[in-house]
Structure 1
Amino acid sequence: MPLRRLLSVLLTGALGVMGLVGLTATPAHAAPNFKAPYPCGQQWTYSHHSAEVRLALDFVRSDGGATSGAPVLASASGTAYRYYEAGGAGNYVVVDHGGGWKTYYFHLAAYSIGHGQGVAQGQQIGTTGSTGASSGAHLHYEQLYNGVGQTISINGASLAPYPGSYHQKYLTSDNGCSGGGRYWVDTFADAPGYGSPTSTTRTGTLYAGTNYVFCKVWGREIRDGAGNYNHWWLRTDLDVGPANQYVSAYYLSRWGNDQARDNNGTVVPDC
């Protein structure tokens, strides 16, 4: 075979091999639209260190709420499986999303689902803890494709480059913002809405009547001249103004000072 022809054949073969390598390195199934593994509106900071496997990130809460006991939510829908590893992951959950994609949630204080249970995106699967080989409460989180760790993406945006310590980067969750648990409450007057439980800048209004709320947060006191007061703030969607704002539990019709219960008497959960 002439040298020119031989080189052409070799080059074509090499390009073909390179093409196959590139193809196998790219996931054949697109990733789900993963969301942060904790509730809507919460801000957590995250870090990565060399001992972490499979491109994992560790998350701790950074908005003033407690990390320990905080709900852990499924990043996407799938089938959840419970496991335990004494010298490593502790209590952990794996959610199989299909198409080769899985997410891992390590060091849980407790499980909120059964083994092999189907879960929806935003459904609580456990609570944050420090079980297994852990020096403090945090959530170790992974995204895998066909068993290989992937750079973590939330809402389609990569979190790379990873920080080497906490409080360099932050992530606010929108997981469950448009769904999940709703608690119905009656309000006796139009309630002013605010962007946070400590803000004094009004963003809108929740009309008097029966309304839904998602969760509660401790914040600034609202008090009237008759001695009635409340420090709890309820996250809800305003009638006038943006979604996912806060109104004072002072406006609840059925309950007293520093209480935040729905119309059935159920305590509204912490955000």
Structure 2
Amino acid sequence: MTRLASVFAHRNLFSLALAGTLSVALGGCIEDMTAEEAELDPAGFFGDEEWWDAGPPAGEEAAEFDALEDLAAQTEVSLAPAFQLPFPCGQVWAGQTRTNHSPVNSVDFNRTDDVNDPVVAAAAGKVSRVANEGATSYGKWVEIDHGGGYRTRYAHLNSQSVTVGQSVSQGQKIGTVGSTGGSSGPHLHYEQRLNGTAQKPVFNGSTALFFGTKNYTSKNKCSGGGSGGVTGTVSTSGLPLTVRSTPSTSGTAVGSVANGAKVTITCQKNGTSVTGTFGTTKLWDFIGTGYVSDAYINTGSDGQVAPTCN
């Protein structure tokens, strides 16, 4: 099954899950989008479709909070951590807010073929909850305490990779996108809370759109990445992968890396289109000595995972 075929299968199941409760518009032109176009414009791909998921577990409900309407709270809000999108640098995600969401000040994130994509900490903190509600509510979820009364929640995860009490840095992987719990399809349910009260999330200093769906580009750990880059594994048919001076198949060959070798991606850039082990892409990875096509590099995530090269 092709990448977009699997996505459309998911969309059809999603629509069936909503039948009788919501009117879902799939939009005739969406099916004409390529995988690359859908990856760059997930909001356009999903169109007017409204998503659905269950709210917090019993006893975990959150009151709603709008900092712009509460002058007394603005001093506290100004001391909030510098939250970023809960995804690796450069990735584009469609974020949806809606009046029937629980809590209403939360955001659901989605993009094509996103099952098992990494979810990362929106800010540094200490893991306060790692729970599993089974087939209801949040399903598998993680909560991070950022201090000063601020906490973030990440729900419907397919997997959790942290433990309670663990300290995490901004941009550190905490789990993967899934559809556990009360969820009509793979996505990440995300909340920012202040003293137990849900507030409108802020990413890179800007408040999320309320209400509607828009694209957000992650700037999480884009300035140097904190760890010096993202690790990837070369995967070819067995032949060495050519390293080129520019992100192009016509670029001068400056070296090669063996199949199975680990490489460190310091930045990425669009260039000529290449079809390889992981599909067709224009994305190229800079690995210190030159560029290799991302079509042959496994980072555990689709799309851009490192800062854009200058």
How would you bin the TM-score normalised by the shorter chain? Answer: 0.5 to 0.7
2-structure distance, mates of 1:46, 1:27: 25
Q: Structure 2 matches for 1:45-84, cutoff 5 A?
A: 45-49=94-98, 50-53=100-103, 55-61=105-111, 65-80=112-127, 81-84=129-132
Residue 191 (structure 1) aligns with: 245
Whether 2:206 is the aligned partner of 1:162: answer no
Q: TM-score, normalised by structure 1?
A: 0.65
2-structure distance, mates of 1:94, 1:235: 32
Check whether the contact 2:140–2:157 (CA below 8 A) recurs between aligned residues: yes
Distance 1:110 1:151, change over 3 A: same
Check whether the contact 1:39–1:176 (CA below 8 A) recurs between aligned residues: yes
Distance 1:222 1:135, change over 3 A: closer
Q: Which has the higher helix share?
A: 2
Residue 274 (structure 2) aligns with: 221
Residue 90 (structure 1) aligns with: 139
Check whether the contact 2:204–2:219 (CA below 8 A) recurs between aligned residues: no
Distance 1:157 1:29, change over 3 A: closer
Residue 212 (structure 1) aligns with: 264
Q: Aligned-pair RMSD on alpha carbons? A: 3.8
Check whether the contact 2:244–2:291 (CA below 8 A) recurs between aligned residues: no
Q: TM-score, normalised by structure 2?
A: 0.57
Shift of 1:131: 0.6
Whether 2:221 is the aligned partner of 1:176: answer yes
Check whether the contact 1:193–1:206 (CA below 8 A) recurs between aligned residues: no
Check whether the contact 2:144–2:151 (CA below 8 A) recurs between aligned residues: yes
Check whether the contact 1:83–1:92 (CA below 8 A) recurs between aligned residues: yes
Shift of 1:140: 0.5
1-structure distance, mates of 2:267, 2:156: 24
Shift of 1:54: 5.1
- Aligned residue pair count: 212
Secondary structure of the structure 2 residue equivalent to 1:23: helix
Identity %, equivalent residues = 33
Whether 2:181 is the aligned partner of 1:150: answer no
Secondary structure of the structure 1 residue equivalent to 2:103: coil
Residue 72 (structure 2) aligns with: 23
1-structure distance, mates of 2:242, 2:82: 40
Residue 115 (structure 1) aligns with: 164
Q: Structure 2 matches for 1:4-15, cutoff 5 A?
A: none
Residue 269 (structure 1) aligns with: 300
Report Cα offsets for 1:71-117 as digits up to 9, x if no partner.
10000000113112232011000010001111000100000112221
Shift of 1:23: 2.8
Gaps of 5+ in 1: 1-20, 195-199, 224-229, 240-245, 251-257, 261-266
Check whether the contact 1:190–1:205 (CA below 8 A) recurs between aligned residues: yes
Worse-superposed segment, 153-162 or 115-124: 153-162
2-structure distance, mates of 1:43, 1:150: 23
1-structure distance, mates of 2:268, 2:291: 9
Shift of 1:39: 1.3
Report Cα offsets for 1:119-178 as digits up to 9, x if no partner.
000000000001111110010001011111111110111113331xx4xx1001121322
The one-letter code sitting in structure 2 at the alignment partner of 1:193 is P
Select which of 86, 98, 103 maps to 1:37. 86
